[in-house]
Structure 1
């Protein structure tokens, strides 16, 4: 049998992304925790939880931009690569969220964090947006890498299972980057929730193009993790 060394990556299951008090709460965000805890009970070779961990002056916060182009959820801005000003990226502005040292940045208390081997913090460079748990989207050059790719490669991981929040943003870009890194990548559909569920058709098209599989919690591949 071909080698199979699976990793579980749980993305951004934090207070600010969950009801009842999150500043950027994803509907049903807390509802996935029982399934996540079930996954954490399984013998994945490595289990990672990621955290958005922003400075207060992060470029993605609407509050750090001037009116009228500073409406959370509605406004978009152009970010220039601070290391190569010719490379740009359009990004949506958000309410302040997951600010370092605040309650909103904490992982949910009901998540079995003691089963996690490594917590990876992301989005710490105020100059760039970073949805993916691997790196910011700039290519020439990349500005901020989390070290997650190195960790998974060093552990000899072959397969990456992705879950968490939000399905249409940080889960999406984490899964796409996992595939780019050469891992066989699967997203566990019931273990995610989206900011905008109507965007999921587009997300699934991206996955298909990248070779990322969307699986259910009873998929045969998860039964191999035992």
Structure 2
């Protein structure tokens, strides 16, 4: 269909986010890979995986803040280019260090079908859940170039899957919609760090204009019949 040019974004399906050994393992995070591989076999214009790719001194690591604990503590991050702009962010265990085994995509993922692997979270000064850009705007600190990649491919629709539902996947879907793409988050293909927070996250995602869909829904079925 000439007016349907879909892209797939597989968010952070990395060892550190998956059981049994991930330092920030999402419960049942590994279980989504079979369905994601099924999607990868569909006729997308472009298939992109993202990876958290943090330096050791990343601001999101609790160990880099004296007396702070992962999961429990929240800090205020100041835009390094504009001290009047701030963002509150949760602190995490050390995860997805550049070049480490924990930063690798899980081997079950059919990575040979990917067209691009995009690394994010490389600037130690800012948190970056979204694969598009950091949360600051005045000015933005880091832009991955993902919007340009998708627009250069004349993508119309973006399908988002991966980990974790309530953080990076949520922000990927929200920003894809913000950039003007018809955006679908495939619910069976994600898991949340905090499942109790997922209903509120779903409302936030849908308010942004993105749509939460099912593997057996028409939005996914359409992929199977796209030419």
CA RMSD, Structure 1 to Structure 2 (Å): 0.9
Which residue in 1 is equivalent to 2:189? 191
Q: Secondary structure of 1:224's partner?
A: helix
Which residue in 1 is equivalent to 2:36? 36
TM-score normalised by length of structure 2: 0.97
Which residue in 2 is equivalent to 1:73? 71
Q: Secondary structure of 2:85's partner?
A: strand
Which residue in 2 is equivalent to 1:46? 46
TM-score normalised by length of structure 1: 0.97
Count of aligned pairs: 224
1:181 to 179, 184, 192: 179
1:120 to 118, 121, 132: 118
Cα distance between partner residues in 2 of 1:83 and 1:71 = 27
Which residue in 1 is equivalent to 2:162? 164
Deviations 1:163-183 (A, max 9, x none): 000000000001000000000
Cα distance between partner residues in 2 of 1:75 and 1:221 = 39
Which residue in 2 is equivalent to 1:154? 152
Which residue in 2 is equivalent to 1:104? 102
Deviations 1:63-106 (A, max 9, x none): 10111xx1000001110000000000000000000000110000
Which residue in 2 is equivalent to 1:27? 27
Q: Where do 5+ consecutive residues of structure 1 fail to align?
A: none
Which residue in 1 is equivalent to 2:201? 203
Q: CA deviation at 1:201?
A: 1.5
Q: Where do 5+ consecutive residues of structure 2 fail to align?
A: none
Q: Secondary structure of 1:201's partner?
A: helix
